[in-house]
Structure 1
Amino acid sequence: MESTIRNQLITFHSDTLHAVKTVFKLESPGRMDEAVDLLQEWILKQTHFIKKIYPRIYLESILISSKGSVEIAKRRIEKMCTMRTFSPQLFDKTDAKNDLMELHDIIKTINLPKLTEDHYRITLIKITAKPLPLQYSNLDFFKFIIILAEYIKLHDYCQGFTIILDHRDANVMDFVTRTNLYELQNVISLLTEGYGIRMKGLHIISSSKVVDTLVIIFKQVFSAKLATRIHVHKTIETLFEFVPKSLLPEDLGGDERSISTLYDEWLQELSTEDHINYMNMMRGACTNEKLRLIDHLDENLGLSGTFRALAFD
């Protein structure tokens, strides 16, 4: 964690590591090591897992996102490995800067450097293109999010995430009409049930009337519990009631570096040789379904359920 603390892209409070462990009852001496050992031993016994050894900090991060539960952590790893096998198209990009060049002028996704007082990380998604290019697909955006999620599991340490979706300069209908519900549900399931992204709140900034349709879409793919955490802000001022203004980029009236500056820094970080090599290695963390002892395929993929049809005029 020492190298992470020195990283200007993700900083921590002096008590973050201890405070987060305490929340999930992992602060006792040896408790985290014991949980990591149990998790690693379980992985070694899974005949259908192709990758057997993970960095300890990666397993520790999964345990934190699982509220300290080894059993939940097992399900998260199972979910991620199975998804890499059955949805390989989500993981086929490893260099955020050069593999996804067309995305950079359309959507900028960043994690802000400073944590909130209660140790939550703020993720900001800024849509900059209006209108969207004809060739745009949400799939590239999802691939970028996965590259970022892999980085988070290895380097970040927080209770969870507050997500800001800044649609002020975008055409909301553009995104609504191009949203594939099946694809979106698949990715949300991967992020929440696999990577264990714990969402404290989703804040959408937009004065468009179409934003209500966007909220309907999100409510279809989020759990009932997470759906209650969606907030719409017609202006930036009401966002400050939930997110400290000082932590936000200067574009949103805060004290932090601009969105463009932070995004460029993130692109450099996510495109280092070390991270690209790590992403390529993690692509191999999948399954050999012929060796799976018990068939829980639908459960692991999280693909069950139905969607209500939406008509967009």
Structure 2
Amino acid sequence: MEDGLVELKPHTLEKLRREVDLDDPDRRREAIDILREWIKKQDHFLVKDFSDYYLEWRLLTNGGSIEKSKIVIDRLCTLRTLNPHLFGVYNVKEDFAHVFDNGICFALPKVMEEDIRVSFIKFFKKDHIKTYFVDFLRYIVVMAEYMTYHDYLHKTVLVFDFLDVNLNSFVTDMDFMELKRHSTVLLEGFRMKPQKILLMTESNLAATLLTILKTLLKPKIIQRIQVIRNHEELSEIVPREILPKDYGGDEIAFKDLKEKWLNELSSPKMMEMLKQRSKERTDESLRPMCQFSEHYAGMEGTFRFLRVD
């Protein structure tokens, strides 16, 4: 993309369109128009003006299916309503300054084979995680909002770097129910599809962390979790040519990537985008109750917005 934060291989977009039978411009236009007309009829949507880019992104990340795209458009709007504390118009440099001495999340510019994006979540040994955890989750949501409008890829490898933290205190202090709500937002709302989840730690408590995660995540996701102990093992999975220098790779250093991400996510353009996205919610009093029950019963979140006659 133009900002250089995330790149696509040549012809990736054409390939993605072809894979879901949307390479024909007329067919693509028709699918986007069908979604747009459906959105207009959703009385519970507070915003009905979605860009062509967003609607195509929804189609591409849902196998070209119009019906699946309808469900996930509705789902993200609903999750904004059910979990308002995770969404907001945040200037990450100002609002989350205390977070970045403790952790950082960023995507690598280049992709793996099969158009898989690699994202890092790195923690540092400083404050107790409970003092910054929710703001860290909010920061990741801001990053997900950015990726929605700058990256067509939804397959990812997630690298959790715990090498610099005491995993015992980390696990003890973590709010796992908040983590579950957040994972629902990323997996069900933003449609992130982890191909692998790498936990990088030398601690024997990795097994304990895995046991806890099994109670929060679906079995399909759990099967993709792998514990690695160092940068060398990481490079056996993620090619060195796309890794930062700090991780034994050929790309720009971690601190430089961090600064580029923080600058972009705090830019005026990003603030305007977040203002628009914050309006993309639902008024649940206008949704048929049977429809809510069918799709969202049991989903993590707050129901204080609901009114039942």
Aligned 8 A contact 2:46 2:279 in 1: yes
Q: 1:53 to 1:182 in 2, by over 3 A?
A: same
Larger mean CA deviation between 261-270 and 169-178 belongs to 169-178
Equivalent residue, structure 1, for 2:306: none
**Which secondary structure state, in structure 2, belongs to the residue aligned with residue 231 of structure 1?**
strand
Distance in 1, matches of 2:297 and 2:94, equals 31
Provide the residue aligned with 2:66 in structure 1: 70
8 Å CA contact retained: 1:58, 1:154: yes
Deviation at 1:161, TM superposition (A): 0.9
Is 2:172 the counterpart of 1:153?
Answer: no
Aligned match of 1:310: none
2:274 alignment partner in structure 1: 279
Distance in 2 (CA, whole Å) between partners of 1:125 and 1:302 is 31
| Equivalent in the alignment of 2:220 | 225
Q: Is the 8 A contact 1:93 1:99 kept in 2?
A: no
Distance 1:304 1:144 in 2: 22
1:114 counterpart = 2:123? no
The answer to whether 1:10 aligns with 2:6 is yes
- CA-to-aligned-CA distance 1:211-237 (integer Å, 9 cap, x gap): 112222322222211111101002222
Alpha-carbon spacing, 1:301–1:137, altered in 2? closer, same or farther (3 Å): farther
Measure, in 1, the Cα distance between the counterparts of 2:94 and 2:246.
Answer: 26
Deviation at 1:287, TM superposition (A): 0.9
- In the aligned structure 2, how far is the partner of 1:216 from the partner of 1:163? 18
Question: Could you tell me which of 97, 102, 118 is aligned with 1:101?
Answer: 97
Q: Secondary structure at the match of 1:36?
A: helix
Cα displacement (A) at 1:78: 1.5
Counterpart position of 1:47: 43
Distance verdict in 2 for CA 1:224–1:299, change over 3 Å:
farther
State the distance in 2 between where 1:103 and 1:167 align: 16
Report deviation, 1:49: 0.5
Who is 2:307 aligned against? none
1:149-199 superposed Cα distances (whole Å, 9 cap, x missing partner): 111111112251111111111112232122223211111111111111111
Match of 1:56 in 2: 52
Letter in 1 for 2:149: L
| RMSD over equivalenced CA pairs, Å | 1.8
- Partner AA of 2:26 in structure 1: G
Equivalents in 1 of 2:283, 2:96: separation in Å? 29
8 Å contact kept, 2:129–2:174: no
Per the TM alignment, residue 50 of structure 1 is displaced from its structure 2 partner at its CA by 0.3
Consecutive unaligned residues in structure 2, runs of 5 or more: 301-309
Asked if 1:137 corresponds to 2:137, the answer is no
Q: Is the 8 A contact 2:106 2:258 kept in 1?
A: yes
Q: CA deviation at 1:58?
A: 1.3
CA contact (8 A) 2:17 2:60 kept: yes
TM-score by length of 2: 0.91
Supply the distance in 1 between the matched residues of 2:170 and 2:146 (Cα, whole angstroms): 26
Contact 2:232–2:248 under 8 Å retained in 1? no
Q: What one-letter code is carried by the residue in structure 2 that aligns with 1:64?
A: L
1:91-133 per-residue CA deviation (whole Å, 9 max, x = no partner) reads: 13421211111111111111110011211111011112x1434
Alpha-carbon distance in 2 for matches of 1:221, 1:63: 28
Equivalents in 2 of 1:93, 1:133: separation in Å? Answer: 25
Deviates more, 1:173-182 or 1:105-114: 173-182
Instruction: Return 146-155 or 16-25, whichever deviates more.
Output: 16-25
Equivalent position amino acid for 2:163 in 1: R
Q: Distance in 1 between matches of 2:47 and 2:268?
A: 21
Supply the AA of the counterpart residue of 1:21.
Answer: R
Measure the CA separation in 2 of the matches of 1:299 and 1:215. 31
Compute the displacement of 1:203 (Å): 0.7
Deviations 1:39-61 (A, max 9, x none): 12111110000010111111211
Aligned with residue 164 of structure 1, among 159, 166, 175: 159
Offset, 1:82: 1.2
Q: Which moved more, 1:91-100 or 1:191-200?
A: 91-100
Whole-angstrom distance in 1 between the partners of 2:168 and 2:293: 32
Find the aligned partners of 1:287 and 1:187 in 2 and give their Cα distance. 19
Task: Say if 2:250 is the partner of 1:246.
Answer: no
Partner of 2:86: 90
Residues 208-262 of structure 1 show CA distances to partners (whole Å, capped at 9, x for unaligned) of 0111122223222222111111010022222222211110111100011111110
Distance in 2 (CA, whole Å) between partners of 1:194 and 1:47 is 20
Is contact 1:119–1:159 with CA below 8 Å preserved after alignment? Answer: no
Which AA in structure 2 matches 1:40?
R
CA distance in 2, matches of 1:121, 1:302: 32
